[in-house]
Amino acid sequence: MSLDMSSLFRSFFDAPALIARHGLSSIITPDGEVLDIPLSEVRDTLRQLPPPLLIHGPATLRLLELPPEPLPAPWLDLLELFLLVHPARNVTPTARGLALELKLIPPDDATPLQADILYKIAQHLLDELAEQSAQKIATLHLLLPTLRQAGWSWHDIVKDALPAAKNTTQHNRAKEVDALKIWKRLPQWEERAPRPPAGSHSVNQQEARKRLSALLGKDAEPRPGQADFASATSYAFTPRDVANTPNIMLAEAGTGTGKTMGYIAPASLWAEKNDGAVWVSTYTRHLQRQIEQELTRLYPDPTKRHELAVIRKGRENYLCLLNLEDITTTLLNRSPQQGQSGLIPLVFLALWAEATEDGDLMGGDLPGWFGDLFQSGLLNMIADRRGECIHSACPHYQSCFIEHGIRRAQHAQFVIANHALVLSQAAWNAMLPQDTAPGNLPDENGVPTRYIFDEGHHIPDAADSAFSLVFSGLEAADLRRWILGAEGGRSRARGLLRRMEDLMERLPSLKESLQELIYATQKGLPRPGWSSRLHEARQARLTPQFEDTNLPEEETSALLPDDTDEETPSLDVIEQTPLTQPAEDFLQMLDMHLDARIAELQMLTRGEHGHYPRQECDLHPIPTPLRDRAEGLLTALQDIVTPLDRVIKHLQNALEEQEEEPDTAFQQRLEGTIRSLHRRALSRLQGWINMLRAIIDQPIAQPSLPTYVDFIHREPLPSTRVLQKGHDIALNRHWLDPTIPFAGTLQSTTHGLLITSATLRDRSPNEDGDTGWEKAERRLGTAHFLNPPMRAALMSPFDYAHQTRAYIITDVSRNPTIQAQAFQALFEVAHGGALGLFTAIRRLKEVHRRIHEPLGMKHIPLYAQHVDAMTNATLVDVFRTETNSCLLGTDAMRDGVDVPGEALRMVVMERTPWPRPDILHRERRRHLSGGRPGDYDDLITRMRLQQAFGRLIRRADDRGVFIILDSRMPSRLLSAFPDGVPIQRLPLTEALADIDGFLNR
């Protein structure tokens, strides 16, 4: 069903205002009639009205259970107007969020807002529009015709509100089009002399305390443990005495200690004394921004902060101007009949690119809801996702955000990164001493010597992802595409031959090796359509057991050029399609092996809630046909590596020659190409070759303590990929203990390492402090370093006995109706401000389906991960802003969500968060538990409970309750909670009464 929405507004007062929500929605009609009606009546009412003034159209449609509308949206979305006025400023995408941001309501006003606020927001934003700088007004005048052409519904209203431009030179279409071409007017970065290596002066404990006190100022809230933390962590900033033995500090700081400022104090001193950079690594993008915010105390001047504190993420997070140009040009060349609505988000991106701090598309100053509002794939298309950067051969190189960020980081005092980036960089740098080839290069971010791992309890997980290997259809096809470019269709993907054209002109000898590389890739890696063939082969094998597979359908969009279809190759090497295809043969054999070994043969069938059962099996013992196919694939991969090696050597030789006659641009081009050939192709191929060798040389008996865990895993294709119907199958190799490569890569280059978190140690009952530390050291990998770490533990300053309560509910069964009723009753007694944590998405959706309406009727909005059309970060922003709302989520909401104050006063876990019983866990509990696999499960579960409990109290005046709806939760896990927390096992009704007395007294 679709609403009749054809619009052209002269005034926003012509539109009804709508705040849609579960329970009663608020509508004001253009005649001024005020309606509070149930969501079920909103659709019928809107059908009789013009398209509404609203906030977040796609989320509203979802709430109304209406299908998505293509661009241009017929309604007036205030978020689009906000983007026009404040293109690089985040705001919570709700009426309260906008009203607070624009200071239209007091910060403590929690009453439900009515739709009249939307008119005030619109008027305020239009007033602000009139106050923009002369330059911005001139730019907007140039961009408006494009927005009109694209059918933007705000066009006429904005045009009327916009003051006349000061320099009224005649506009022509060329100037208007140029206004979109942001890459032509961005500032250019300039090269600086390389930074000399950092010094080795240490930071002593007194200095660290003094610096902390100076940073906090006289009026700071006293935090007794913070100065001790700053003092203790200064150890990580003492010079190391012996090679390969970094000084490691393990510092557990209970919630509320103030650990970020605590480590900034010694780290900033070290950076100043030694003219070096300290790398702070954390787990999520959101936490990276939080740390940057804390650095405001150290660098109150924004210009200085921009210079000395730099956020670094993977390249795929940043705007690639070449991709933006590519998409913009394609859309501009479309005729009006083909539709130009895709230009609307590009106008906002052009405005954002002019205002952004660093071009970060994912979690930076581009609002997190941008992708939800327009087209989720757009941001991926304009980021450097495909790894096709051509470095100094790019016409936008000197303006490139990524290159600028890399250079800023090389001269910063603080680089704020994430664990994934830090580990991949450390792995690269650790290879250097062994690689004596000419032109070997350090990571583009340099070789840091001082690291702080904040949220350090995530190190094992981060290391597991960073050092695992996977050979799958998608991975292999991705590499083929990276080398060959798109093959047919409309995709813009450029292959190596096109990307290296300029290099071949200067180094003609490259061409032969490149052509060999292309031929070997065509022969060896899966051809387009591989997933359909894989699927059909499986279906043919298993038919007639299964008739219909109900696999995910294609998702396409007509808005933007299709990024994954294929085009006719422009290469001068034409594929001679071989009869057999080593990679596809191998994938089919993996499929057969998995079917033979899984307990229950089943097709990948979408479950009731759109999810798929996990399908995996052990690789070992390996049947002969699989080994034979592995040999075929191994040969094919080696045939790719041989010319690839030659290409890299050509480039390295050319780079070496540069030392005699340097040409900076060419040198940068060579360096960038060598790094990407290594990273995107060679290291991947070498990893796969090592995996295949292990299959071929399989020992007769498996070692009693394996180094790796090998398994096969099948899954549907990601729904975001525009590919044929089919599935993917993967061979996985994980380190049994991923902290071994973590220690191996860091210990050679690192001089000082601080690992900190609120939850480093397990709180196992009946264990002394030393045992807890020893277990933490094994888990975090510091036991693999040569030098034992120093340890420090700072207690949380919070009074948990008075600020919290914990309940284990004894009479709520696993029946979905009973579970949903329990959630509803708990959320109601708390009057919102509750976070529900689930261990299965299916159950989360079920509870949401049952309780969102009744909660809405009581003015308690319910949001949910996997249900609402918003990213996790946006959902958390909404939850934080709407203090009476509730949020349902899974693991990502359990760790690292920081919602202080009233907005979070209850955490409800639906079940005990046991580890998932998969093959990887089976092997780790067997081999890493010291013969006590049950204790290993308990440890993981207690750590998760600690993390979940940690969400509850973030400030000294917070109060909160923690509830587990699982009567079977063993008492031995209760030690996860901080000392003093009153814990009770109660039936639900008694617990509700107790909670009511505690929270509402």
Q: What residues make contact with ligand SF4 under the rule CB under 6 A?
A: 320-322, 384, 389-391, 394, 396-397, 400, 402-403
Neighbours of 816 (CB within 10 A): 14
Q: Write down the least CB distance from residue 424 to ligand SF4, Å.
A: 17
Report the number of secondary-structure helices (H) and strands (E) in the chain: 39, 23
| Residue 399 C-beta: closest distance to ligand SF4, Å | 8
Strand partners for 159: none
Q: Which is nearer to ligand SF4, 24 or 400 (CB)?
A: 400
- Closest CB 178 distance from ligand SF4, rounded Å: 18
Of 302, 320, 293, 500, give the one whose Cα is nearest residue 405.
320
H or E segment to which residue 634 belongs:
helix 624-658
Q: Which is nearer to ligand SF4, 441 or 965 (CB)?
A: 441
Residue whose CB is less far from ligand SF4, 394 or 416: 394
Beta bridge partners of 878: none
Distance (Å, whole) CA 234 – CA 230: 6
The token pair at 504 is: 């071949």
Instruction: Closer to ligand SF4 by CB, 189 or 708: give it.
Output: 189
Q: How far is the CB of 643 from ligand SF4 (least distance, A)?
A: 24
We find the least distance from the C-beta atom of residue 406 to ligand SF4, in angstroms, to be 10
CA distance 602 to 595: 8
Query: Looking at beta carbons only, is 384 or 868 nearer to ligand SF4?
Result: 384
d(CA 720, CA 563): 11
Nearer to ligand SF4, 319 or 412 (CB): 319
User: Which amino acid is it at 706?
Assistant: P
- How far is residue 382's CA from residue 326's CA, in Å, rounded to a whole number? 9
What is the smallest separation between the CB atom of 369 and ligand SF4, expressed in angstroms?
25
**CA-wise closest residue to 776 among 916, 939, 662, 960:** 939
Residues facing residue 710 across a β-bridge: 733
Amino acid identity for residue 530 in this structure: W
Using the minimum distance from each CB to ligand SF4, give the nearer residue, 136 or 391. Answer: 391
CA distance 92 to 369: 9
Q: Taking the complex as a whole, how short is the minimal distance between the CB of residue 666 and ligand SF4, in angstroms?
A: 15
CA distances from 777 to 57, 451, 463, 538, 773 (A): 49, 17, 15, 46, 6
Residue number, 287 or 321, with CB nearest to ligand SF4: 321
Smallest gap from residue 395 Cβ to ligand SF4 (A): 8
Which CB atom, from 76 or from 394, has the smaller least distance to ligand SF4? 394
Least distance in Å: CB of 282 to ligand SF4? 24
**572 closest CA partner among 484, 506, 508:** 484
423: left (phi over 0), alpha (psi -120 to 50) or beta: alpha
Residue 323 Cβ vs ligand SF4, minimum distance, rounded to whole Å: 6
Q: Which is nearer to ligand SF4, 24 or 389 (CB)?
A: 389
Q: How far is the CB of 493 from ligand SF4 (least distance, A)?
A: 13
Q: Tell me how far apart the alpha carbons of residues 43 and 53 are, in angstroms, rounded to a whole number.
A: 15
Q: How far apart are the first and last CA of the chain?
A: 47
Among residues 461 and 663, whose Cβ is nearest to ligand SF4? 663
Q: Which is nearer to ligand SF4, 316 or 937 (CB)?
A: 316
- Whether residue 622 contacts residue 631, with contact meaning beta carbons closer than 8 Å, is answered with no
Least distance to ligand SF4, CB of residue 330, Å = 16
Nearer to ligand SF4, 373 or 503 (CB): 503
SS3 267: helix
| Residues 900, 903, 905, 911, Cα dihedral to 10° | -100
Say how many C-beta atoms besides its own lie within 10 A of residue 920's C-beta: 18
Nearest to 481 by CA among 414, 527, 523: 527
Which residue number, 215 or 381, has a Cβ lying nearer to ligand SF4?
381
Shortest Cβ distance from residue 183 to ligand SF4 (Å)?
8
The secondary element (H helix, E strand) that includes residue 250 is strand 247-253
Q: Check: CB of residue 59 under 8 Å from CB of residue 376.
A: no
- Residue 675's closest CA among 698, 702, 695, 652? 652
Cα–Cα distance list, 138 to 129, 133, 190 (Å): 12, 9, 28
Which lies closer to ligand SF4 via its Cβ, residue 390 or residue 963? 390
- Shortest spacing between CB 649 and ligand SF4, in angstroms: 24
Residue 47 phi, psi dihedral angles, 5° rounding: -60, -25
Task: Return the number of the residue (398 or 967) whose C-beta is nearest ligand SF4.
Answer: 398
Q: How far is the CB of 396 from ligand SF4 (least distance, A)?
A: 4
Nearer to ligand SF4, 672 or 772 (CB): 672
Least Å distance between CB 644 and ligand SF4? 21
Torsion angle defined by CA atoms of residues 583, 585, 589 and 591, in that order, rounded to the nearest 10 degrees:
70
Sorted by sequence, the CB contacts under 8 Å of residue 522 that are 6+ apart come out as 480, 484, 573, 575
Rg (CA), the chain: 29
Sign of CA dihedral 534, 538, 541, 546: negative
Distance CA 727, CA 595 (A): 14
Residue written as tokens 């597991």? Answer: 464
Residue 412 beta carbon to ligand SF4: minimum distance, rounded to whole angstroms: 20
Name the token pair of 299: 């660098």
CB of residue 494 vs ligand SF4: minimum separation in angstroms?
10
Torsion angles phi and psi, residue 676, rounded to 5: -75, -35
Q: Of the two residues 394 and 603, which places its CB atom closer to ligand SF4 in the complex? A: 394
Helices (H), 132-248: 134-149, 155-161, 173-180, 205-216, 224-233
Q: For residues 174 and 601, give the distance between their C-alpha atoms in angstroms, rounded to a whole number.
A: 62
Tell me the C-alpha distance between 388 and 975, whole Å: 50
